Amino acid sequence: MKQLKQSHAQAITCGIGTNSFALSRLLAFCANPKHGSLAYAWNLFKHIQEPTICICNTMIKAFFLKGETFRTLHLYSNMLSKGMYPDNYTLPFVLKACAKLHFFCLGELVYGLCLKLGFVFDVFVGNALISMYCGFDNVKVARYIFDEIPGLDVVSWTVMISGYGQMGDVDTARLLFDEAPVKDRGIWGAMISGYVKNNCFKEGLYMFRLMQMSGIEPDEAIFVSILSACANLGALDTGIWIHKYMDQQKFPLSLRLSTCLVDMYAKCGNLDIARELFDEMQQRDVVTWNVMISGLAMHGRGESAIQLFRQMEKDGVSPDDITFIALFSACGYSGNAFEGVRILNRMRNVYNIEPRSEHFGCIIDLLIRGGLFEEANQIIQSMPDSSNPSDEAIAWRALLSSYCSSGQTKLAEVAAEKLMRLEDHSGVYVLLSNLYASSGKHYDAKRIKQMMKSRGVFKAPGCSSIKINGEVHEFQPLFVEAVTVGGEEFNFGDLCLQVAIPHLGANGKLSVAAVYYGRN
């Protein structure tokens, strides 16, 4: 900036201080996020009597890149009021600002101006429009704009695929991916990320293998998605291979990528390597601490998780609401109810974080595990009223689960009745039915199942997964009430236990033997 000011002074003394091109170059330097000065650029811009559209575009870009989104739109509004029309360099930044601020109405007005001026067919403006409408969760309009652009580029395909993935429509995203004429790293990353974000982890790993076969080298974003898939699938071998691959390629481990590696090893049960990587990190943010604390809590090392939290406080890192959810879980696993209450008070009084429904749910579960039923009831009665019934349902669901675990049938019935009024979820019926069955009240258990059928509530089947020859296979049990063997029908009724046993046959194909045990 010191040299820039010298150049500016020389431009003035040479008589080109008002030259549009010279001013645009000065503004462009000031707009640079790394070494520029937005304040100097704005002072320079204000002294220009009649700025051209090029100079206005440079200033709009500077505001947007510096995070001054409101000022971006304010300058755009001033342009329109002075009778200046935006061009295909102005509109993308304005549309991105509308998307970032979630200004739907203003975005619609800018879209109308794009139609009026004919810029909707420009690929740069069109891509910004697609991205904006995807940000507004209006993928239908985004797809309409996508289909209208005559010269689509790889960015167009990437943004549209990401939009479908963001809306959870991975099937349409995959169809669009298959139609893409050129598949670069960005398009592969958008498809992999779409699968992982929508819990299609197996499909995400499969796409990663296809990408490797096509000769595309992964970037940091793809590694983050794949490590997340490995963590959720428990595919430790694949995660270790990716870690070794990054080491061999000397891929730089950023804070984000290192945190994902710690998360993957922790969720896959290898806490020693997770802690080793955590300790080797030169820089840690609150997300990194949360991942390590959650990993320790998840595997029953409650005391270690609490000690790590104390170390986090000593290092001057302020916890967030996610940290305390992990800590309450850690106290639950270690059976330390009083420590959990102490942490709750510290959360409120020291860090000024108001508990949400998830925190209340964890605390209630923690207190009931410790046999403190009266304290749990006091906590749930002191919960603030929420306009969203699902928030209140989280705490009552934790209460019901705890009552069922401790065999408190009467209290569980009260909690279940309250929960059924708040939401229509199969978990309530399943918990209550299992409680009745374990208490020998088979008639009541059957009554709850019939109630589920009459109300149209269905339970999503659970699934198991195994890894054979580097590929993850998932299995879902089939519910069978009766089976015919040798012309005789065997009715299992409600006491049917189903076991799905996957095995690799002599022909190399994977098959399942289903074993059913009846009443006898």
163 within a domain of the structure (yes/no): no
Whole-number Cα distances in Å, 30 to 23, 75, 150, 154, 433: 11, 17, 35, 30, 67
Q: How many residues does the chain have?
A: 520
- pLDDT at position 288 is 95
The DSSP H or E segment spanning 473 is strand 471-475
**CB 280 within 8 Å of CB 248:** no
In a domain, 504, yes or no: yes
Q: Yes or no: say if 397 and 357 are a contact pair by the CB < 8 Å rule.
A: no
Choose the weakest-confidence range: 114-128, 252-266, 362-376: 362-376
Q: Would 266 be classed as within a structural domain? A: yes
Beta-carbon count within 10 A of 395 CB: 28
303 lies in a domain? Answer: no
Q: Quick one: pLDDT band at residue 488, thresholds 50, 70, 90?
A: low
Overall average pLDDT of the 166-183 stretch: 94
Tally of structural domains, the chain: 2
Q: Identify whether 243 is part of a domain.
A: yes
Of the spans 335-349, 433-447, 466-480, which averages the highest pLDDT? 335-349
**Predicted pLDDT of residue 498:** 46
Whether 477 maps to a domain, the answer reads yes
Distance between CA atoms of residues 27 and 262, nearest Å? 43
Q: Find the range with the poorest average confidence among 192-196, 357-361, 369-373.
A: 369-373
Task: Name which of 33-42, 304-313, 318-327 the model is least confident about.
Answer: 33-42
SS3 of residue 217 by DSSP: coil
What is the CB neighbour count within 10 angstroms for residue 492? Answer: 17
Q: What is the three-class DSSP state of 456?
A: coil
pLDDT > 80? residue 390: no
CA distances from 475 to 93, 459, 503, 518 (A): 48, 16, 11, 21
Does 506 map to a domain? yes
Residue at 416 is within a domain: no
Q: What is the pLDDT of residue 204?
A: 94
Residues 467 and 473: their CA atoms lie apart, in Å, by 6
Range of the domain at 234: 220-283
**Rounded Cα distance, 128 and 512, in Å:** 49
Long-range contacts from 94-100, C-beta under 8 angstroms, 24+ separation: 94/60, 95/125, 95/128, 95/129, 95/131, 95/132, 96/64, 96/128, 96/131, 96/132, 97/64, 97/69, 97/72, 97/73, 98/73, 98/132, 99/131, 99/132, 99/135, 99/136, 100/69, 100/135
**pTM, to two decimals:** 0.76
Task: Give strand pairing partners of 472.
Answer: 467
CA–CA separation, 495 and 485 (whole Å): 19
Among residues 283, 309, 325, which one ends one of the domains? 283
The last residue of a domain, from among 239, 263, 283: 283
Pairwise CA distance, residues 465 & 229, whole Å: 13
Residue 484: pLDDT band (50, 70, 90) is low
pLDDT tens digits, residue range 420-434? 766 666 767 777 777
Domain end among 283, 302, 330? 283
